[in-house]
Structure 1
Amino acid sequence: MQQAPNNPFAEGQVLLIDKPLDWTSFDAVRKIRNMVGIKKVGHAGTLDPLATGLLIICTGKFTKRINEYMAREKEYTGTITIGAVTPTFDLESEPVNSMDYSGIDKAILEAATQQFTGTILQVPPIHSAIKINGKRVYELARKGQDVQLEPRQVTISTFELTDISLPVVSFRVVCSTGTYIRSLANDFGAALGCGGYLSSLRRTRIGEFLVSDALTIEKAEKMIGDTRKQYQNG
Structure 2
Amino acid sequence: MNDPREQLQFGHKGSRGKDAQPRQPRRPTAADGIIVVDKPTGMTSHDVVAIMRRLAGTRKVGHAGTLDPMATGLLVVGVGRGTRLLHFLTAADKSYTATVRLGVATVSEDADGDVTDTQPCDHVTREQLQAAAARLTGVIDQVPSAVSAVKIDGRRAYDRVRAGEDVVLPARSVTVSRFDIVDVVDGPPHHGVATKDVLLSVDVSSGTYVRALGRDLAQIVGTVGHLVALRRTRVAEWTLAEARSVPQLQDTDPTVPLDVMDLGSAAERALRVWRVSEAQAGRLAHGQRLTTELSGQYAAVSEAGELVAVVQCGQGVARPVTVFVSGVQGASS
TM-score over 0.5 for the pair: yes
Task: State whether residues 29 and 57 of structure 2, in contact with CA within 8 Å, keep that contact through their aligned partners in structure 1.
Answer: no
Aligned partner of 2:243 in structure 1 is 214
Q: Does 1:118 align with 2:138?
A: yes
Distance 1:148 1:105, change over 3 A: closer
Q: Secondary structure at the match of 1:79?
A: strand
Offset of residue 156 of structure 1: 0.3
Identity %: 36
Unaligned runs of 5+ in 2: 1-25, 187-195, 260-333
Hey, what does 1:187 align to over in structure 2? 216
Contact residue 181 and residue 199 of structure 2 kept, 8 A? yes
Give the match for residue 108 of structure 1: 128
Find the aligned partners of 1:37 and 1:114 in 2 and give their Cα distance: 47
State the alpha-carbon separation in 2 of the partners of residues 228 and 116 from structure 1: 45
Q: Report which structure shows greater RCO (CA 8 Å, sep ≥6).
A: 1
Matches of 2:184 and 2:75, distance apart in 1? 28
Please give the alpha-carbon distance, in whole angstroms, between the structure 1 residues aligned to 2:249 and 2:152: 36
Residue from 204, 207, 220 that aligns with 2:233: 204
- Selected match of 1:178 from 199, 207, 214: 207
After TM superposition, the runs of 4+ consecutive aligned structure 1 residues lying more than 6 A away are: none
- Give the structure-2-normalised TM-score: 0.64
8 Å Cα contact 1:80/1:198 also seen in 2? yes
Q: More deviation in 90-99 or 78-87?
A: 90-99
RMSD over aligned Cα, in angstroms? 1.7
Render the CA deviation track for 1:168-192: whole Å, top value 9, x for unaligned: 0101000101000011111111111
Aligned to 2:113: 93
**2:77 is matched with which residue?**
57
Work out the CA distance in 2 between the residues paired with 1:229 and 1:22: 24
Matches within 5 A, 1:13-28: 13-28=33-48
CA distance in structure 1 between the partners assigned to 2:46 and 2:253 by the alignment: 18
For structure 1, list consecutive stretches of 5 or more residues without a partner in the other structure: none
Instruction: Using the TM superposition, give the Cα deviation of residue 101 of structure 1 relative to its aligned residue in structure 2, in angstroms.
Output: 1.1
1:141 aligned onto 2:161: yes
User: Which among 51, 66, 87 is matched to residue 67 of structure 1?
Assistant: 87
Count of residues in Structure 1 that have an aligned counterpart in Structure 2: 224
Distance in 2, matches of 1:200 and 1:117, equals: 21
The answer (yes or no) to whether the contact 1:36–1:224 under 8 Å persists in 2 is no
Contact 1:131 1:137 (C-alpha < 8 Å) held by counterparts: yes
Q: Deviations over 1:105-132 (max 9, x none)?
A: 1111111111100000111111111222
Q: Which has the higher strand share?
A: 2
The two structures have a TM-score, normalised by structure 1, of 0.91
Deviation at 1:224, TM superposition (A): 6.6
Aligned equivalents of 1:81 and 1:8: distance in 2? Answer: 44
2:52 to 13, 32, 37: 32
Q: Distance in 1 between matches of 2:98 and 2:202?
A: 9
Per-residue deviation, 1:222? 2.8
The structure in which a higher percent of residues are helix is 1
